Amino acid sequence: MGERKTREGVVVSDVMAKTRVVRIERVFRHPQYQRVIRQSKTLKAHDETNASHVGDRVLIEETRPISKEKRWRIREILHRVVS
């Protein structure tokens, strides 16, 4: 079997218990107009220990469905925000 998908993003909400909302940003050049475009999407990720907080840069990996909208899990916290 192949490796699981991983994405890097920033935690934008930590209100829910054991769940974090992570914003993934994608930067690419438009094929025809050659303008740089920034697209972002938000994903819900599982955080068993409630270790991450708003502003933290995290690495998330794809996993089995945990709830209705959660299909990602926080693998590690890459950079913590100082507060």
Dihedral angle, C-alpha 42, 8, 37, 71, nearest 10 °:
-30
Single pTM value for the model: 0.90
Beta bridge partners of 1: none
User: Domain residues for 48?
Assistant: 6-79
Quote the tokens at residue 22: 């992570």
Nearest to 61 by CA among 1, 2, 5, 23: 5
| Polymer length in residues for the chain | 83
Is 75 within a domain? yes
What CATH number should be reported for the domain holding residue 40? 2.40.50.140
Is 50 within a domain? yes
Q: What is the pLDDT of residues 17-76, one digit of tens each?
A: 999 999 999 999 999 999 999 999 999 999 999 999 999 999 999 999 999 999 999 999
37 in Cβ contact with 50 (< 8 Å) = no
